[in-house]
């Protein structure tokens, strides 16, 4: 998995020729097929329960569907990773262990996990099944990654969306395992695995139950002036004037009053988009780019995967001439939350 190193003809310095994999989301079988058809190297998916961090109603896979998805991917030389990245309590731990066993039996190429007992079970019972440290594991340093590597034999880690590009570059040099980073999709403003905002309001927790801001707690009200308000378990998250665009109400993307002003005090509805720094991520030695969005449909998956496939392939063929194309950016912006994108934490000024 170590990236090959060659001399750059332009700078004379070493450039790590990346074998960057494109890892795409699938919330159901049509999305999985769409991702594979559009050029994903790997697809990640979850079971239809609380063992993964996108436990939304109507989403995800049962054993049969996953089996079909894996067959579809393997027939085309691609991989399927299974996200088992929530945190079971003691009473429910056997259920998560069974899910790991099932992932191994179905022939998944890796599990993506964050919780120690889940990783430990996988390492002991299924040593041949690759273990990726999930973004939910909140590992941001070489020391933290050494822990997961020595303790659970992880072969890859997904970085939380908190590090700057300089910090990612440095970590690629010191990490004991290859690194995957988020390239595109909805942006969690908080450190993944370290956010209790949803459970503070609803009692349902992303860590424990795999869902942020569950739909059953969301209530929209339309008022006589045609404005709308949205509440989560009764708590006002935001109000929208007639015609004002309104996204899905997570606590972090609401508008609040701080010091006499009302604004998006935590984060605006926006998507992460790292297309502009693709060469830098490749040169840093990042081995995989992850697209967020298992809750999105096949059309999103197809369009976003196709765009990133084209961008990565272009880079592979002619890294020195690579530049971000406006057609790519337009395609991505069309699928971005709030139709706007940001480089997010990769760019220091964003903070």
- Residues near another protein (CB under 8 A): 87-91, 93, 114-117, 120, 137-141, 143-144, 146-148, 151, 161-164, 167, 170, 189-191, 193-197, 199-203, 205, 207-208, 233-239, 252, 254-259, 262, 265-267, 345, 348-351
Instruction: Give the residue with the Cβ less far from another protein, 170 or 316.
Output: 170
Nearer to another protein, 96 or 308 (CB): 96
Interhelix angle 116-125/142-152, nearest 10 degrees: 40
The string of DSSP letters for 63-130 reads: HHHHHHHHHHHHHTT-EEEEEE-S---GGGHHHHHHHHHHHHHHT-SEEEE--HHHHHHHHHH-TTSE
Taking a C-beta distance cutoff of 8 angstroms, is the pair 308, 21 a contact?
no
Q: Which is nearer to another protein, 21 or 207 (CB)?
A: 207
Query: Which residues have CB under 8 Å from 136's CB, separation 6+?
Result: 53, 85, 86, 87, 114, 192, 193, 207
178 vs 191: CA distance, rounded Å = 20
Kindly list the distances between the CA atom of residue 197 and the CA atoms of 24, 203, 241, 302, in Å, as whole numbers in the listed order.
27, 10, 25, 32
CB nearer another protein, residue 224 or residue 261: 261
In angstroms, the first-to-last Cα distance of the chain is 32
- Report the C-alpha gap between 84 and 234 in whole angstroms: 31
Closest CB 332 distance from another protein, rounded Å: 22
Shortest Cβ distance from residue 39 to another protein (Å)?
Answer: 30
How far is the C-alpha of 54 from the C-alpha of 153, rounded, in Å? 25
Distance CA 72, CA 181 (A): 25
Query: Would strands 218-222 and 228-232 be described as parallel, antiparallel, or unpaired?
Result: antiparallel
Q: Which is nearer to another protein, 220 or 334 (CB)?
A: 220
Comparing CB distances to another protein, the nearer of 266 and 303 is: 266
User: Cβ closer to another protein: 163 or 181?
Assistant: 163
Q: Which two tokens stand for residue 286?
A: 């990042």
What's the length of the chain? 351
Q: How far is the CB of 111 from another protein (least distance, A)?
A: 16
State which residue, 215 or 299, has the beta carbon closest to another protein.
215
């Amino acid at each position: 998995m170590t990236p090959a190193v060659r001399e750059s003809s332009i700078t004379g310095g070493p450039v790590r020729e990346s074998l960057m994999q494109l890892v795409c989301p699938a919330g159901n079988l049509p999305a999985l097929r769409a991702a594979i058809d559009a050029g994903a190297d790997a697809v990640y998916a979850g079971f239809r329960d609380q063992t993964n961090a996108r436990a939304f109603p109507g989403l995800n896979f049962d054993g049969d569907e996953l089996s079909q998805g894996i067959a579809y991917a393997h027939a085309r030389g691609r991989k399927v990773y299974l996200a088992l990245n929530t945190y079971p309590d003691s009473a429910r731990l056997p259920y998560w262990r069974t899910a790991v066993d099932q992932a191994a039996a179905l022939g998944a190429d890796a599990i993506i996990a964050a919780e120690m007992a889940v990783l430990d079970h996988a390492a002991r019972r299924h040593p041949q099944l690759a273990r990726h440290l999930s973004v939910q594991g909140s590992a941001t340093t070489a020391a933290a990654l050494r822990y997961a590597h020595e303790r659970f034999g992880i072969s890859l880690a997904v970085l939380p969306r908190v590090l700057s590009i300089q910090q990612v570059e440095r970590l690629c040099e010191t990490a004991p395992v290859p690194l995957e980073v988020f390239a595109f999709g909805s942006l969690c403003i908080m450190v993944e695995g370290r956010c209790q905002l949803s459970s503070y309001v609803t009692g349902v927790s992303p860590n424990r139950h795999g869902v942020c801001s569950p739909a059953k707690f969301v209530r929209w009200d339309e008022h006589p002036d045609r404005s709308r308000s949205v509440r989560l378990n009764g708590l006002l998250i935001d109000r929208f004037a007639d015609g004002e665009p309104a996204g899905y109400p997570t606590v972090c993307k609401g508008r609040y009053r701080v010091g006499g002003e009302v604004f998006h005090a935590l984060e605006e509805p926006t998507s992460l988009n790292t297309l502009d720094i693709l060469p830098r991520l490749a040169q840093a030695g990042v081995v995989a780019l992850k697209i967020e969005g298992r809750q999105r449909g096949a059309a999103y998956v197809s369009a976003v995967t196709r765009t990133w496939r084209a961008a990565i392939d272009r880079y592979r063929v002619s890294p020195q001439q690579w530049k971000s194309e406006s057609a790519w950016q337009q395609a991505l912006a069309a699928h971005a939350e709030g139709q706007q994108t940001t480089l997010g934490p990769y760019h220091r000024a964003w903070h």
